Amino acid sequence: MINSKLPAIGTTIFTKMSALASECQALNLSQGFPDFEAPQALLEAMARHVMAGHNQYAPMAGLPCLREQIAAQLLRHLGVSCDPDSEITVVPGATEGIYCAVMACVRSGDEVIVLDPCYDSYEPAIALAGGRAIHIPLESDSFAVDWQTVAAAITPRTRLIMVNSPHNPCGATLSADDMLQLQALVEEYDLLVVSDEVYEHLVFDGQQHHSALQFQALRQRSFALFSFGKTFSVTGWKTGYCVAPPALTAELRKVHQFVCFVAVTPVQLALADFMAAEPDFPATLAAFYQRKRDLFCHALQESRFKITPSAGTYFQLLDYSAITRTPDRQLAVDWTHQHGIASIPISVFYEEPHDQHYLRFCFAKTDEVLLEAAERLCKI
């Protein structure tokens, strides 16, 4: 029998809940994927490149034409200038990029600070690198970072801090002041950062996304990860990119070439074409998804849930504490069976057993699905 390197890891909650939704023929607001089509021009570009025979290996770091378009987008939307050759790497999904970043810089015995609730791929990557995840819970209900608690957790073994904004699963965002406090800590203690920014364009109510790339000292110490799947509604294409200074990029690529080696060639070409033709498309996303968030929340006004509109991502937390005391893991399963609507429990993203009273619902769905989901939830 094999002695598992990840003995506590089973099937992800996303896979479990999507499978249950399918089994129960429930509305699937659990796993984070849109149920509507990507831009037609992007789909046509993909088909065109497949049929033109562009189906062999791309360069390991990504096609130059796509890396050039990424650099143009970073300048256009974040005001950040990056070298497409030495600082940008196209990866087959941000999860792979995060894994490669952790493997590139975490050694046996190193400690990595993560903020709970933390996305479920972080700790397995840390464990496989021989490191130890140090979990710092975000503040209850506000999901804000207590930077004094973070600072107190830093030891001589601390190598890396992992942050996620806009935050999955809770929808919170880091402010400019948060980023400055993070920057001060990594400078003082000589740390590196993995900054998961896959929902960068989905920030609502007139607020702005604050990237690690926009803070000079942070930029020199950060791997910043982004996702085309989230931006262009093609999560199944599993393509993203990592931006890091040349020395960190070189280390990431050493790992990347032996994990997946390259991202998919026709996907890269299609993305490059669409980004060149529609450079302002990402700027439309905040209004598009805020309207869906507001539609969903407004339709729930007569429900018994407590609702704080999500600040970012395409996820909305619903506080069910006025309805039941059932633990969230059980409740997510029960309501999928009983009411035909699947969600994600939040407690699974904490290290310690956590008495949570939230379920996460994805609003990257058609209006008809969101209204039907709200109608069912209002009857609970």
Asked if 265 and 307 sit in the same domain, the reply is no
Split at pLDDT 50, 70, 90, the class of 353 is confident
Give the span between the Cα atoms of 252 and 259, in whole angstroms.
Answer: 11
Token pair listed for 308: 């704080």
Is position 73 within any domain?
yes
For position 225, what pLDDT does the model report?
98
Residues 361 and 309 in one domain: yes
Residues 17 and 66 in one domain: no
Kindly state whether residues 246 and 146 are assigned to the same domain: yes
Within a domain: residue 6?
no
CA distance 208 to 250: 30
Same domain, 196 and 55: yes
Rounded to an integer, what distance in angstroms lies between the CA atom of residue 165 and that of residue 161?
A: 13
Q: Are residues 211 and 340 part of one domain?
A: no
pLDDT at position 344, please?
97
In a domain, 3, yes or no: no
Last residue of a domain, one of 228, 255, 277: 277
Are both 51 and 125 inside the same structural domain? Answer: yes
Residue 294 has pLDDT above 80, yes or no: yes
| Mean pLDDT for all residues in the chain | 97
Q: How many domains does the chain have?
A: 2
18 within some domain: yes
Exposed (0-12), middle (13-18) or buried (19+): which is 247, by Cβ within 10 Å?
exposed
The answer on pLDDT for 213 being more than 90 is: yes
Distance, CA of 86 to CA of 79 (rounded, Å): 18
**Average pLDDT, integer, range 52-81:** 98
Q: Within this chain, do residues 176 and 255 fall inside the same structural domain, yes or no? A: yes
pLDDT band of 88, cuts 50, 70, 90: very high
Whether residue 374 lies inside any domain: the answer is: yes
| 15-53 per-position pLDDT tens digit | 999 999 999 999 999 999 999 999 999 999 999 999 999
Answer whether residue 4 is part of any domain.
no
Same domain, 101 and 238: yes
Distance, in Å, from the CA atom of 351 to the CA atom of 117, rounded to the nearest integer, reads 8
Token pair 């796993």 in the structure block, residue: 31
Backbone angles phi, psi at 132, to 5 degrees: -130, 125
The answer to whether 62 touches 160, Cβ cutoff 8 Å, is no
Domain closes at, from 222, 251, 277:
277
pLDDT digits (tens, 9 = 90+) for 117-160: 999 999 999 999 999 999 999 998 899 999 999 999 999 999 99
**124 domain-assigned:** yes
Provide the residue range defining the domain that includes 367.
Answer: 13-38+283-378
**Contacts with 283 (C-beta within 8 Å, 6 or more apart), sequence order:** 77, 201
Minimum mean pLDDT range among 13-17, 163-167, 341-345: 13-17
End position of a domain, from candidates 217, 252, 277 = 277
Residue 218 sits in a domain whose CATH number is: 3.40.640.10
Do residues 98 and 52 both lie within one domain? yes
CATH number at residue 308: 3.90.1150.10
Domain membership of residue 5 (yes or no) is: no
Q: Are residues 261 and 295 in the same domain?
A: no
Q: Are residues 266 and 292 in the same domain?
A: no
